[in-house]
Amino acid sequence: MSIVVRNLVKSFGETRAVNGIDFEIPGPRIVGLIGPNGAGKTTTLRMLTTFLAPTHGSVCIAGFDTVDRAQEARRQIGYLPESTAIYPDARVSEFLAFRAKLKNVPRRSRGGEIDRCLHACGIVNLRQRIIGRLSHGQRRRVALADALLSDPTVLILDEPTAGLDPLQVRQFRGLVAELAAEHTVLLSTHVLAEAQAICGRVLVMSQGRIVDDVDLGTGTEFHHCRLEVSGTAEVIRAALLTIDSVIAVEQSTSGDHWQRFELRCGKDHDVRPRVAEICVEQGWPIRELSSSLPELETRFVRAVFSEPRKAA
Ligand SMILES: Nc1ncnc2c1ncn2[C@@H]1O[C@H](COP(=O)(O)OP(=O)(O)OP(=O)(O)O)[C@@H](O)[C@H]1O
C-alpha cells in the first residue's frame, strides 16, 4: 500500500483544518485532491510529507508511519510544494547536486541520478542554466526533478500547474502522466478539468473532510452532453429520455426560461445530433449543446455544497 491515511486531524488553535480523513492509495496511479479554498488540501499534503505533525490519526507512506518512522517515510516521498523556493543564483546542476546530497544519494551515484531526473523532466538542456533566469515553467520542472531524486515511491504535488501557460500545462500534465507509470502521484488542484484529464481517482475535500471519492476509471465509461434550451423542463426531459443511448437526464439549473440539462449516455454515443434534431423539430431554442465533463463537476458541486456550512 503506497499511502494509508487513518482518521487524520490537524487543528490550528480553534481551526480544524483537517477533520478526520481516511483514504488509501494502493499503488502507481494519479489521485487528485480537489476542493475549494481553505478545504484543507495543503494541510493534508504537508502532513503526508512529514512537514506537519498530525493532531490525531496517522499516515503511512510505503509502510512507514510518518511520525514513528519519519526518516524512512520521507525517503519514499518526492514533494513539489505549491511555491518552490529554489536558489536563484545556483545553476540547475549545482542545485540538484546539493539536494541529492541532502537526500543521502551516495556520492558515486549522484551524477547518474541527477541525469536520470533531468532526463525524466525533459530539462537536460537546462543543466548549466542559472535558476533565477529560467521561466516559471522551467523552474517547476527543476523542482519536479528535485522531487524525483532518489526515486521516491510516492510523488506529492501541490498545485503543480499553477501559474503555467496553457502549453506548459499540457507538457507538465504529460510528464506527470508518464511518471505515474512507476510512482503513486497525489496531486492537489483547483482545476476540475485537470483532475478529469489526468487523474484515475479524485478525492473531494471540503471543510477538512473528504466528502466524495470519485473513481474516474478510464474516463470513457459514459459520454456526457450538456444542453441549455428554452421550453418546459418536464416536456424537454421526457423527449430527451426517448433517445436510445441516453441513460439519465439531470436538470442541473434552471433560470428564467432557460433549462439546463446534463445527459449521461452510453459509451461512444454522441447524442448531440439527435438532441439538436429534437430541439429543432419542437422549436426549442438552444443556447448550448456541448460534449461535457459533468460527472466530476456535478459530483464536486453536490459534495461540496451539500456539506453543512460552518457558522461564521
Ligand atoms: N499554519 C496555519 N495556522 C493557522 N491556520 C492555518 C494554517 N494553515 C492552514 N490554516 C487554515 O486551515 C484551513 C485549511 O487551509 P489549507 O491551506 O490546508 O487549505 P487549502 O485547501 O490548501 O486551500 P487553498 O486551495 O486556498 O490553497 C484554512 O482555514 C486555513 O486558514
DSSP state letter for 201: E
For the cut 60, the answer to whether the pLDDT of residue 67 exceeds it is: yes
**Residue 301: inside a domain:** no
H/E segment holding residue 101: helix 92-102
**Is 154 in the same domain as 237?**
no
CA of 41 to the centre of ligand 1 (A): 8
**Is 268 in the same domain as 201?**
no
**Is 239 in the same domain as 124?**
no
Residue 99: phi, psi to the nearest 5? -65, -35
Q: Which of 178, 103, 171, 111 is nearest to 138 (CA)?
A: 171
pLDDT more than 90, % of the chain: 51
Overall average pLDDT of the 246-267 stretch: 79
For the cut 80, the answer to whether the pLDDT of residue 309 exceeds it is: no
**Residue 46: inside a domain:** yes
- Banded pLDDT at 312 (limits 50, 70, 90): very low
Q: What is the CATH number of the domain that holds 66?
A: 3.40.50.300
Q: What's the mean per-residue pLDDT of the chain?
A: 87
**Residue 305: inside a domain:** no
- Banded pLDDT at 311 (limits 50, 70, 90): very low
pLDDT at 205: 93
7-13 long-range contacts (CB < 8 A, ≥24 apart) are: 7/56, 7/57, 7/58, 8/44, 8/47, 8/54, 8/56, 8/57, 8/58, 8/59, 9/54, 9/55, 9/56, 9/57, 10/40, 10/43, 10/44, 10/47, 10/52, 10/54, 10/55, 11/55
pLDDT at 110: 93
Is the distance from the beta carbon of residue 39 to the nearest atom of ligand 1 less than 6 Å? Answer: yes
**Residue 15: inside a domain:** yes
**Nearest residue (CA) to ligand 1, atom 1:** 12
3-class SS at 237?
A: helix
**Residue 227: inside a domain:** yes
**Is 46 in the same domain as 132?**
yes
**Residue 67: inside a domain:** yes
Among 169, 188, 215, identify where a domain stops. 215
pLDDT at 221: 56
Is the distance from the beta carbon of residue 11 to the nearest atom of ligand 1 less than 6 Å? Answer: no
Among 215, 235, 261, identify where a domain stops. 215
CA of 39 to the centre of ligand 1 (A): 7
Q: Which atom of ligand 1 is nearest to the CA of 188?
A: 22
- Listed range (15-19, 138-142, 288-292) with the worst mean pLDDT: 288-292
Give the 3-state DSSP-derived string for 120-154, with helices as H, strands as E and coil as C.
HCCCHHHCCCEHHHCCHHHHHHHHHHHHHCCCCCE
Is the distance from the beta carbon of residue 206 to the nearest atom of ligand 1 less than 6 Å? Answer: no
For the cut 60, the answer to whether the pLDDT of residue 29 exceeds it is: yes
pLDDT tens-digit map of 172-188: 888 888 888 888 999 99
CA of 236 to the centre of ligand 1 (A): 44
**Is 174 in the same domain as 234?**
no
Q: Which atom of ligand 1 is nearest to the CA of 159?
A: 27
pLDDT tens-digit map of 196-223: 778 888 999 999 999 988 877 644 456 7
Residue-number span of the structural domain to which 167 is assigned:
3-215
pLDDT at 216: 75
Residue 112: CB atoms within 10 Å: 10
**Is 169 in the same domain as 250?**
no
Is the distance from the beta carbon of residue 200 to the nearest atom of ligand 1 less than 6 Å? Answer: no
**What is 40-60 written as a DSSP string?**
SHHHHHHHHTTSS--SEEEEE
3-class SS at 188?
A: strand
CA of 309 to the centre of ligand 1 (A): 16
pLDDT at 265: 81
**Is 253 in the same domain as 126?**
no
Q: Which of 281, 296, 273 is nearest to 227 (CA)?
A: 273
Q: Number of folded domains in the chain?
A: 2
Which residues are paired to 212 by β-bridges?
204
**Nearest residue (CA) to ligand 1, atom 25:** 37
Is the distance from the beta carbon of residue 40 to the nearest atom of ligand 1 less than 6 Å? Answer: yes
For the cut 60, the answer to whether the pLDDT of residue 58 exceeds it is: yes
For the cut 50, the answer to whether the pLDDT of residue 1 exceeds it is: yes
**Is 233 in the same domain as 138?**
no
**Is 142 in the same domain as 239?**
no
**Residue 163: inside a domain:** yes
**Is 143 in the same domain as 269?**
no
Q: Which atom of ligand 1 is nearest to the CA of 43?
A: 18
CA of 18 to the centre of ligand 1 (A): 9
- Banded pLDDT at 97 (limits 50, 70, 90): very high
CA of 300 to the centre of ligand 1 (A): 19
**Is 45 in the same domain as 172?**
yes
**Residue 304: inside a domain:** no
Overall average pLDDT of the 35-53 stretch: 93
Q: What is the CATH number of the domain that holds 250?
A: 3.30.70.1340
**Nearest residue (CA) to ligand 1, atom 31:** 38
